[in-house]
Structure 1
């Protein structure tokens, strides 16, 4: 890719994105341009340090922990209404939900435990867990608010907070799993996943690249399911309910 033309394309795309978001008066229209700037800077730094990271499992593990910490901070930033006390629970959710599927992949021998595979798989799965946590948190908050009357009725009948909030929690979990599910079922028909395309462009056999992509997609699905499970356990029995959404 020509770097100058690539930069021009990025600037134009960011400008169009900002114009649309600002024109529609959506929430914080500067977030998308700032995200693009951060991506440029972070990928630039990553390209400088990656050479050392992918040669040592210890550095790879440390880098993955940094990824987990950043994912937790990002998810919590989107879920501030859960309060500061939610930070340890969000961190545990992302860490466990990412560690389990990644461990299965390498313990089973599906991929060799070498730094480059660990970094690639771990980074993708951590990102998927972060997204699922954010979606689950937002959907759960909205579902609890919309179902306030129903939940209070169940509580009045003697149900525990977890029992009373079970159906709204299930709806939130289903919503959180939509992106990973749709990405998996439309792979090759609607989307060409980055792991597959990158492996092919790097010269890997197409069949090997497809096998790697399937493992990645299923690991992300598993991570999303574990994320919703843990989120439901930690936050699905609220002591207080958010205000109901106005109907007028």
Structure 2
């Protein structure tokens, strides 16, 4: 009872600060937390079955990937083929990172490790798709004259949007790189703390966290690059109105 009340206090404070500062969050913090409570409750039940019947892990991973792709694609729907770019980016980023981690035997290929690492990696790829795509759209709007100049000189859409895409990817990675740099001094990431709570030694927890951090960086970079390259193929000047195209 007290736990639920405490969560409500935290989310109410978030809504209040957002409202008073004019950020425009509305009730999103509350609805997001409510959705998280529901989803975690369902996942907790599913994981019991997955851990006891390993063959079901494939279906669970597919569910995570589909949900992440759907969420990211919704954020990029106003961009040219934004939904497709988001799905491709999330899938490619997660696949490359997870395949590399387990092929290099950085983590044992066991169901519990696969689910834990995949959840983190897929979630990071989802964030990268959203951040890179939104930064790309913002850059196109601010540097529209530059894009039009490239196109007028006969450049392909991919070349006209290349610099903007590269900047968008860099911006999308900054927060993750800062967290990686400060790990252990400023932050104790969830994978590290979770491993400790699970009974691992500090050294084992640190190794697991380093694998996760490296995997996150790889998945986000692959995802961001692919998303912006696909968006950069647009035959239109992104950010222009329908009448101007």
Shorter-chain-normalised TM-score: which range? over 0.9
Give the counterpart of 2:34 among 32, 37, 50: 37
Task: Give the secondary-structure state (helix, strand or coil) at the position aligned to 1:152.
Answer: helix
Q: Is the 8 A contact 2:124 2:216 kept in 1?
A: yes
Task: Give the secondary-structure state (helix, strand or coil) at the position aligned to 1:82.
Answer: coil
Moved more, 87-96 or 34-43: 87-96
Q: What TM-score do the two structures reach when normalised by structure 1? A: 0.92
Q: What TM-score do the two structures reach when normalised by structure 2? A: 0.93
Give the counterpart of 1:187 among 161, 183, 189: 183
Give the counterpart of 2:153 among 157, 160, 163: 157
Shift of residue 28 of structure 1?
4.3
Shift of residue 8 of structure 1?
1.7
Q: Which residue of 2 aligns with 1:14?
A: 11
Task: Give the secondary-structure state (helix, strand or coil) at the position aligned to 1:54.
Answer: helix
Q: Does 1:206 align with 2:193?
A: no
5+ residue gaps, structure 1, are none
Superposed CA RMSD: 1.5
Matched residue pairs, number? 240
2:49 and 2:84 map into 1 onto residues whose CA distance is: 30
Give the counterpart of 1:99 among 95, 99, 116: 95
Q: Is the 8 A contact 1:56 1:115 kept in 2?
A: no
Q: Does 1:61 align with 2:63?
A: no
Shift of residue 235 of structure 1?
0.8
Moved more, 174-183 or 187-196: 174-183
- Provide, for residues 96-143 of structure 1, a one-character-per-residue CA deviation record: whole Å limited to 9, x for no partner: 110111111111222111110000000000000000000011000000
Moved more, 202-211 or 160-169: 160-169
Q: Which residue of 1 aligns with 2:108?
A: 112
Q: Is the 8 A contact 1:139 1:172 kept in 2?
A: yes
Higher relative CO (Cα under 8 Å, sequence separation at least 6) belongs to: 2
Shift of residue 87 of structure 1?
2.7
Task: Give the secondary-structure state (helix, strand or coil) at the position aligned to 2:235.
Answer: coil
1:11 and 1:22 map into 2 onto residues whose CA distance is: 16
